[in-house]
Structures are given as C-alpha cells and as structure tokens.
Amino acid sequence: MKNVIIKITLTAVCYCLISLAASEIIAQNGKCIKGDCTNGSGTYMWPSGDQYTGTFKNSKINGVGTYLWKNGTKYEGEWVDNRQEGEGTLTLYSGKKRAGMWKAGQFVGAPKEEQPVVKQNPKHGCMAGNCQNGESHYKWPDGSQYKGAYAEGEIHGIGKYSWADGSYYEGAWRNGVREGYGTYVNAKGVRKAGTWSKDKLIELERPEVVKETVEGKKDGCVAGNCDTGSGKYVLGPKEYYEGDFISGSFSGLGSYYWPDGSKYTGEWKNNKRDGQGTYYFPNLKRKAGIWEDGRFVKEVKNMQTTISETTIKPDIKAPEVVIEEPALARGITVTVKDENVMVKGYVTDETGVKSVRIAGITAELDSPGAKKSTFSVEIPIQVGQNQIWTKAEDVQGNSDRKQFEIIRQERFADIKYEEADNSNKKTALIIGNSDYAIAPLKNAVNDADSIAVELKQLGFEVMHHTNLSFQEMEQAIEEFGKVLKTDGGVGMVFYAGHGIQVQGENYLVPVSANIKKENDIKYKSVHMGYLLDEMEKAGNDLNIVVLDACRDNPYASKYRSSLKNGLAGVAVAPVGTFIAYATAPGTTASDGSGTNGLYTQELLKAMRIKGYKLEDIFKVVRSNVRKMSKGNQIPWENSSLEGDFYFRR
C-alpha cells in the first residue's frame, strides 16, 4: 500500500513541474525557427531542446498549439499567456495521459463533453415552446442554451445544447443528461460522435471516411469496377470498402470496414454515409437509422440493412418502381446527351408509398402515403456509363432497390481536345477546402480535383492541395511563388472553399479556422493580398486567379457590422493579372447539387473549347451560370491583361 501511495505522489509532482516549466518558457533565450512568433503562427525552440508549434500573441503563447519537452512529454491544446488554459491533453514520456480542462497551467477537471449541463428551473428561462412537455428553446444566464424536447421539466428526447464558448452537444437525452447516440463539437470545431451514458462518452464512433478521389488511379481497387459499378477498394491494412461506385465515389449501397472491427453497412453518396444504414461498434453494439452527409440524424428501430438483399419483411410485398421517363431500352439502359436528366415514374405499394430516392436524391411524390404515387427528380449525369439505383420505401419501412444504366454521349462542349497552348511554361496552384467544422462544403474538394486533372491535360505543372490549415495554405502559396519566380511563364491559382470579406478586404478560409469573433478572421484566414503579392513579386508574364470561394458565408449572420456575404472586388488587379470570381462582389455562389459546384462545372466545359481567348472562356462561363441559376449567380472578372492567352489553340 505504501508503494502505491508513493507512485501516485510522484505522478502528481511530475504534472506540477511540467506546468511550471510551461509557464516560464518564453523567459529563456530561444529563437523563432519558423513563422511568426510575435502575433501569428510559428515554431519556437529553446536551448534546452524544448519546442512549441502553434499560435502567438504579444510574443507570448496564446491560442492553440503543441509544446514538446526534450524528454518526450508533450501538451497539445489551448494556451493563455504562456500557460495551459482551456481544453488540452498532457502526455507524459511514459505514455500516461491527462486530458481535460486546464487553468493557469494546472489540470482542473474532465473535458467539457464529460461535464454536466447547467441545471436550472426551465420556467425561468423558457424563450419559446413548452419547456415542461414538448419542443422548446431555453436560455440560461451564463449564455448556454438548449433547443429540443422536454418531458416533465427535464431535457428529454432529441435536442441541441450549446455552451457560451460555441461548443455544443446534439443528440439523445434522458432526464436531463446525455444518454444514447449524440455528437459533441468543441469550441475549436473538433467533433466527437458516439454513444453516451450518464453524460459521459463511453463508445466513440469511427470518424467520417476520408477517401482521395481515384480519378485515373486504380491502385486501391482490388476487385470489380471502382469507377461506376460495384467493387472493392482498399484504403489501408484491414480498412476497405465493398459496394457500389459512381464516378469513382462510394455511392449506392456498400459496407466500410475499419481496422478495429467497426463497420458501416448501408447507403452512400459521394463517399459519405447518406440514407439508411447501420454502424456497428467493435463490441457489436449498433446504431441504425438515417444518415445525412456523413452524420447520423435519426434512429430507426428494428431496421435491417443488407447489401445482397432488399430490406423486406417476410410475406410482405415490396414497393414496385416503374420508370416512365427517360424511356429505357430493353428495360435497363438509356442513352442521353444532357448533363442533367429528369427521371419520372410511379411507385405502387399495398401499405402506402413513403419515399423514393434516385441516385441518392430524394424524388418529389405527388401523393405521399398513397398506394400509388408518381414522382419526378432531376439527376446529374457524367459523360459515359452511369449506374443509377432506385430505392423505394413504404410507410412500414419495407424497401426495394433496383438498378439501371444511363449512357451519356459527348456533346461539343464536353469534347477534350488534345491540342493545348504549350508556348510558355505553365504552373498552377490548386486548393480545395471542404472539411470545415462549421458549414462544410460538399463540392470544393471535388472542384479542385477536377480542375487539377484538366490543367494537367493542358500542360500545366500542378501543385494540388486539399483541406489545408492556415499554416499549410501560407506554405503552399509561398512555394508556388518561388516556383513561379524561377520558371516564369504563366501562373494560375484555383481556390475552392469559403471566402469572406471584412471591411472590404478578402480572406480565404482554411479548414482549421476557429472563428469565435470577427477579428479572428483577419488572423486565422489567408488574406488575398498575400496571394497576389507572391504572384506579383514573381515577375512572370501572366497570372490567372480563379476564386470559386463565394459560398454562403457561415459567419455573416453572427457578425453583421463589417462581415459581408461573398467576396469584395479587387479595385485594381496587378498588371498582367486576370481575376475571376464565381459570382459578383458581395453575393454568394452555389455549392452545386452534382459532383461539382455550378461555376466549376461550367468552367470545365468552357476550358475544353478550342480557339477561345481567356476572356472569351469566362464570358461563356458567365452566360451559362447566369442562365442555369436563373439570374441568382452572375460570375465576375477583373483584368489587367496586356496580351492573349488560350487554354487550347
């Protein structure tokens, strides 16, 4: 017993010494070896060998970062004036960890996601609805709030609890505590999803699948057709996907297996769980229900999900789908020329039709719940073969799945010409940011991938990046500027992601941005002037900047003083520079309903037209986008070109 007490005491002393060392690190004479260690992000090293990488303010460690001691101990998390303060994890050289909340360099408690919510009488802060029994909105004096279900004056059912610092929990509750499946997102945007019991996260769900686009690359495909069809795609040791593919993405029905034994079986769309599906934890417990854009949104009890069979209960007839338009040849195929196809038909079921999904898109029913209902839905079609699946579900949860094929022929604007303008050296920087904690974008990475492939075919040397942090974006721009200065010729930048204007200045938002207040945008996002300066300093012949970055601004409603939707127009573009925006200054652009955003979709087509000057290409794009958006999105350009440029002569 004595030995045990000594061991615990030594561990406590060790934590205390580490906190003291962290509080005095700037007092030693070290040096900034990378970035900005005054007011920005950088890496600082001390003579002792200790090192910190993260954010600084007023020459002190402030914000989020990692401090690594020479002996291997490290702290990862939040800092205030050189001390651990906020949420963080200390990992000793022995491998032991202490994760949770810190104050003035001292560990003070468990992580917020394991701490109880504020307990007060709901009658005192009920803003709307029924805070005794029903749906309601309740606010506490400390700024916390809850929107969701109540029962007998307790939070009970499905709802969202938000803390004043911006963190929140959304999911199942029972008698005022988190109980069941739910998702916690902290103030930095880090997401944890899984099963909760008595306010504690007891089983962590595997994170959303990360899969690089495999266009032109099949080394991960070990069986079948991993482009458009059915196949098996291996992502790592004991980690793989088996099921349906559409245009290289997990789309349709499939199963994903993780190395720890967990798996998901069900419907997919664009590499994300979308539709009915079941997630199995390693201990064989499961979570079954409806998923949207990779996230669990609704539990369905007694749901079955299989790949080889339809989800039909014994002795009950499944819903029957009949496709009337387009007319299918031999009942399974049709050939079209348009990029979007309107699919129409009807569904019959003896218990009543609940829903119909075509290629992952929910169709509009004329008589939901009736024994027969007609439907219509417009779906995007790629050039070549497209395997299209239909899934109909009745009011009792029975469903049936069928598949047919649409072959899209190439039209003039889709033809890829082999001749490209190779008269100059051409270098391109491509950045696509999708995985934002707030307002993630469906198509930004897809857009970047598609443009990268197209520019490679046009003879560009492509520097291709996706889902970059603040430091990674600055480094990518800096490296691009160096290459451009050395090689000269034509430089092109394509950025897809969130873009914001503050007081008339444009900022490109990295996926790591933790925006809590308006000024954070200036210091945690990349100023567009930094990009233009790097290109101007290179002194090359011609620069093209394309910004498909005016998606809906997720912060505009929160900060209304100077934070505006869309991007501001650059008053004067640097000489020899052409800047193209997905939409006009101060307005927002569509993220698109297909695999690409509307603007990028039309840009790809126009770039394939032979003999058009650069300005003419973007005139075609502007006209097509305006028509397809019914005037809601009008692209805009700013040019100071002195010569002509052709993608294809």
Identify whether 373 is part of a domain.
Answer: yes
Alpha-carbon span 617 to 621, nearest angstrom: 6
Collect all residues with Cβ–Cβ distance below 8 Å to 233 and sequence separation of at least 6.
211, 214, 220, 221, 222, 226, 240, 241, 242, 245, 250
Asked if 516 and 628 sit in the same domain, the reply is yes
Identify whether 108 is part of a domain.
Answer: no
Collect all residues with Cβ–Cβ distance below 8 Å to 24 and sequence separation of at least 6.
82
Identify whether 106 is part of a domain.
Answer: no
Q: Which of 51, 68, 62, 56 is nearest to 84 (CA)?
A: 62
Sign of the CA dihedral running 534, 536, 539, 545? positive
Q: Are strands 333-336 and 399-408 parallel, antiparallel or unpaired?
A: parallel
Alpha-carbon span 607 to 460, nearest angstrom: 13
How many Cβ atoms sit within 10 Å of the Cβ of residue 503? 11
Pinpoint the alpha helices (H) of 427-578: 444-457, 470-487, 518-524, 528-538
In contact, 359 and 378? CB cutoff 8 Å? no
Predicted local distance difference test score (pLDDT) of residue 421: 47
Predicted local distance difference test score (pLDDT) of residue 552: 52
Asked if 446 and 324 sit in the same domain, the reply is no
Predicted local distance difference test score (pLDDT) of residue 204: 66
pLDDT single digits (tens) 295-349: 777 777 655 444 333 333 334 467 888 888 877 654 455 666 667 788 888 989 8
Asked if 273 and 331 sit in the same domain, the reply is no
Identify whether 234 is part of a domain.
Answer: yes
Cis peptide bond N-terminal to 326, omega within 30: yes
Predicted local distance difference test score (pLDDT) of residue 40: 81
Domain total in the chain? 5
How many Cβ atoms sit within 10 Å of the Cβ of residue 216? 9
Mark which of 409, 430, 449 sits at the end of a domain: 409
Identify whether 213 is part of a domain.
Answer: no
Asked if 467 and 583 sit in the same domain, the reply is yes
Mark which of 253, 268, 299 sits at the end of a domain: 299
Asked if 379 and 471 sit in the same domain, the reply is no
Asked if 260 and 349 sit in the same domain, the reply is no
Q: Which of 116, 192, 190 is nearest to 155 (CA)?
A: 116
Asked if 76 and 121 sit in the same domain, the reply is no
Asked if 138 and 172 sit in the same domain, the reply is yes
Alpha-carbon span 318 to 541, nearest angstrom: 65
Asked if 384 and 286 sit in the same domain, the reply is no
Residue type for 50, please? D
Which pair of tokens denotes residue 567?
Answer: 């991007």
Identify whether 645 is part of a domain.
Answer: no
Collect all residues with Cβ–Cβ distance below 8 Å to 583 and sequence separation of at least 6.
550, 566, 589, 599, 633, 634, 635, 636
Predicted local distance difference test score (pLDDT) of residue 432: 93
Q: Which of 520, 514, 513, 510 is nearest to 563 (CA)?
A: 520
**DSSP H or E segment with residue 19:** helix 2-23
In contact, 354 and 394? CB cutoff 8 Å? yes
Predicted local distance difference test score (pLDDT) of residue 480: 94
- The structure tokens 């196809």 sit at 341
Alpha-carbon span 549 to 453, nearest angstrom: 19
Predicted local distance difference test score (pLDDT) of residue 550: 63
Low-confidence ranges of the chain (pLDDT < 70): 1-29, 94, 110-124, 188, 190, 202-219, 260, 282-285, 301-317, 328-338, 382-387, 407-423, 550-574, 584-594
Asked if 491 and 381 sit in the same domain, the reply is no
Identify whether 594 is part of a domain.
Answer: yes
User: Does pTM surpass 0.85?
Assistant: no
Identify whether 39 is part of a domain.
Answer: yes
Asked if 260 and 180 sit in the same domain, the reply is no
Predicted local distance difference test score (pLDDT) of residue 588: 60
pLDDT single digits (tens) 502-512: 777 788 999 88
* Domain, as residue range, for 184: 114-204
Predicted local distance difference test score (pLDDT) of residue 123: 47
Mark which of 299, 330, 352 sits at the end of a domain: 299
CATH of the domain at 153: 2.20.110.10
Asked if 136 and 11 sit in the same domain, the reply is no
